[in-house]
Structure 1
Amino acid sequence: MRARCPLVVPVLTAQHCAAQLALSREHQSWQIRHWHPVLFTDESRFTLSTCDRHKRVWRRCGERYAACNIIHHERFGGGSVMVWGGICLEGRTDLHMLANGTLAAVKCRYEILRLIVRSYPGAVGPGFLLVQDNARPHVARVCRQFLDDKGIDAIDWPSYSPNLKPIEILWDVMYWCI
């Protein structure tokens, strides 16, 4: 046996599981053409220092201080950057870097919904659907009102279900490639 890092997962309640199952059953008969106009969006934080002490190196005895076996890192983390992006079957949005590394409801409405998402339905065509998670800025009254005013339909996504969103897998791939 070898020491391994444990998998970290959110605590799911019975309501979370029921909501995920309901969403899956509701969309189980969808074909590719139904998913074509769906834009999956999310934001993610990336640390600028890649040393998380989970990287491993293979080395021989006496090679501990060889340059290829040393990982340099900033002593106090080196900062982070938060980005927002969206993907669909036919393409993607540009990554949008969030100033100050936070996303509040008003900033979400102005920087994300108004400047990026509002123009996307015209490019995708009829039947456009927006998928966001249930983060507080996304479900805030100002954001919901903006979507309603602009006629943008959104799929109500259940809480704690990142495994159902393809963009979450993309963030994971990007994280491990940094």
Structure 2
Amino acid sequence: MILCTVDDASTVHNIIQRFRESGTISVRKGQGRKTLLDARDLRALRRHCITYRNATLMEVTTWAQEYFQKTLSVNTIHRAIRHCRLKLYRSKKKPYLNMIQKHRRFLWAKAHLKWTVAKWKTVLWSDESKFKVLFGKLGRHVKRTREDKDNPSCYQRSVQKPASLMVWGCMSVCGMGSLHIWKGTINAERYIQVLEQHMIPSRRRLFQGRPCIFQHYNARPHTASITTSWLHRRRIRVLKWPACSPGLSPIKNIWCIIKRKM
């Protein structure tokens, strides 16, 4: 003889009742808790998030409570945003371009549209980059338990004024050029010295006497009259570069790789 408790008896009764009504013992759809936001509300939430991409989660929650006339928590809105296939990311930093700069950048891209791969291989890319000397540049996120919040291995160490240094480098499809560490401020005279001591030997070593095009940005030491005259006297062909367009140069990827591995 099998003895059943009250809970077991009610469970068996519910299963029998469900089978008599629907012909199956599986739980019907919609038996759980109803969602606060339906499909129409989610579409409105998605439109609002796309229109105001920089709004904080609290601001979106306040708007949703007023718009839907419902009591919604921050966690509910966070789950709803993820359900809309949206996710919170850190914004990428890009230099500001006005309409004139955008037009000049478009004209530059149009003028170099027909350049072949062989033509781009003749370019000697150069750039300056700033490296900060940090005490363990770790990410913003760490994998830990709740009890490990005070574990020193889970800290992100920082200093108020980290030491930094500025470097100049160049590269081409043939390989890497010389690397120079700046000391002090950068002006046109010191920039010309770097070109004489590092750019000229790197160009000679990488291209072996073949013609090449030198690329640098529109910084003041680069576009100074004495720098332009020096490049003209040395018969160095310079690639015209649009303003505020450092992301177009492939050497930026080299700096990013080095900084990630530091």
Alpha-carbon deviations, 1:130-175, whole Å to 9, x = none? 0001011111111111100100010110111122110122222322
1:79 correspondence with 2:142? no
Please report how far the alpha carbon of residue 54 of structure 1 lies from its aligned counterpart in structure 2 after TM superposition.
6.2
* Distance apart, 1:4 and its partner CA: 4.2
Count of residue pairs the alignment pairs up? 175
User: Are the equivalent residues in 1 in contact too, given 2:179–2:198 (CA < 8 A)?
Assistant: no
Question: Is the 1:49–1:77 Cα contact (8 Å) retained in structure 2?
Answer: no
**In structure 2, distance between residues paired with 1:116 and 1:176:** 25
Q: Which residue of 2 aligns with 1:106?
A: 189
Q: Is the 8 A contact 2:139 2:156 kept in 1?
A: no
Partner of 1:49: 134
Instruction: Flag the structure with higher strand content.
Output: 1
Q: Deviations over 1:109-140 (max 9, x none)?
A: 11x21111223443313331000010111111
TM-score (norm 1): 0.87
Residue aligning to 2:152: 67
Residue 6 of structure 1 aligns with which residue?
91
Give 5+ residue unaligned stretches, structure 1: none
The CA distance in 1 between the partners of 2:113 and 2:157, in whole Å, is: 47
> Could you say if the C-alpha distance between residues 6 and 33 of structure 1 is closer, same or farther in structure 2, counting changes exceeding 3 Å?
closer
SS at match of 2:150: coil
In structure 2, the CA distance between the partners of 1:95 and 1:121, relative to structure 1 (3 Å rule), is: closer
More displaced 10-residue stretch of structure 1: 46-55 or 145-154: 46-55
> Residues of 1 paired with 2:237 and 2:111: CA distance?
16
Partner of 2:109: 24
3-state DSSP class of the match of 1:43? Answer: strand
The alpha-carbon distance between structure 1 residues 58 and 26, as it changes in their structure 2 partners (threshold 3 A), is: same
Aligned mates of 1:83, 1:171 — CA distance in 2: 10
1:174 is aligned to 2:254? no
Larger radius of gyration: 2
- 1:165 corresponds, among 218, 224, 249, to 249
TM-score (norm 2): 0.61
Shift of 1:61: 0.6
Which residue of structure 1 aligns with residue 118 of structure 2? 33
How far apart in 2 are the matches of 1:121 and 1:176?
27
Shift, 1:57, TM fit: 1.2
Structure 1 35/166 Cα, relative in aligned 2: closer, same or farther at 3 Å? same
